[in-house]
Amino acid sequence: MTTLDLPTLKDILRECAGEDEDAELTGDILDVPFADLGYDSLALLETAGVIQRRYGARLQDDAVTQAQTPRALLDLANQALTGPA
């Protein structure tokens, strides 16, 4: 069963929207708000699109834009990948 991990999410974020010069995607960023990392809702939607295409996870746009941190987006994506618990 495929799950999405933080290093993979970081790679997708960099691929989709680049990396803000003032923000680092290193260290423990699981609970750092995307806004503080330099990513807006458009970048998150593009990231979600890549996740959907690569992994087949169906992500709702409103749920993606409500995911405020990498942890929240990973939880959303992995729930879509694995199904309800």
pLDDT tens across 27-72, in order? 889 999 999 988 898 999 999 999 999 998 899 999 999 999 999 9
62 CB burial (10 A radius; 0-12, 13-18, 19+): exposed
Q: What is the CATH number of the domain that holds 72?
A: 1.10.1200.10
Between these two residues, 55 and 1, which has the higher pLDDT value?
55
pTM score: 0.86
CA 11-60-83 angle, to 5 degrees, is: 80
Judge whether 1 lies within some domain.
no
Judge whether 23 lies within some domain.
no
Judge whether 74 lies within some domain.
yes
What's the domain count of the chain? 1
Give me the domain span that covers residue 10: 6-18+28-82
pLDDT at 14 (0 to 100) = 87
pLDDT at 25 (0 to 100) = 77
Between these two residues, 66 and 26, which has the higher pLDDT value?
66
Estimate to the nearest angstrom the gap between the alpha carbon of 82 and the chain centroid. 16
